[in-house]
Amino acid sequence: MRAVVLVGGEGTRLRPLTLSTPKQMLPIVEQPMIERVLGHLADHGIEDAVLSLGYRPDAFTGAYPSGTIGGVRSHYAVEPSPLDTAGAIRFAAESADIDETFVVVNGDVLTDADVSALVAFHRLRGAEATIGLTPVDDPSAFGVVPTDQMGKVEAFIEKPPRDEAPTNLINAGIYVLEPSVLQRIPREVRVSIERETFPSLVEEGTLFALPSDAYWLDTGTPDAYLRANRDLLLGRRAGPPAPGAQTDPSIGPGVWRIGDVDVQSGSVTRSFFGRGASVAPNAIVEDSVVGAGAMVEEGASVIGSVLLPGARVASRATVEGSIIGPGAIVGQRCIIHALSVIGAGAVTASGTVIDGERVVEGV
Radius of gyration of the chain (CA): 21
Closest CA to 52 of 195, 228, 185: 185
* Integer CA distances (angstroms), 337 to 14, 27, 231, 324, in order: 16, 20, 20, 11
Question: Per residue in 10-27, is it b (16+ CB within 10 Å) or e — as a string?
Answer: ebebbebbbeebbbbbbb
End-to-end CA distance of the chain: 50
d(CA 138, CA 163): 9
Strand partners, 226: none
- Upstream peptide bond of 240 is cis (omega within 30 degrees of 0): no
Instruction: Tell me the H-state helices in the chain.
Output: 33-43, 57-63, 84-95, 115-125, 180-183, 198-204, 222-233
**Catalytic-labelled residue, pool 44, 73, 152, 159:** 159
Dmax (CA) of the chain: 66
| 152 a catalytic residue | no
Work out the angle at residue 348's Cα, subtended by the Cα atoms of residues 344 and 349, and round it to the nearest 5 degrees: 155
- Which region, left, alpha or beta, applies to residue 303 given φ > 0 means left and ψ of -120 to 50 means alpha? beta
Provide the CA 15 distance to its chain's centre, in angstroms: 14
- What burial class does residue 341 get, using C-beta atoms within 10 Å of its C-beta: 0-12 exposed, 13-18 middle, 19+ buried? buried
d(CA 273, CA 95): 40
Neighbours of 231 (CB within 10 A): 17
- Find the length of the chain: 363
- Which residues are marked as active site? 159
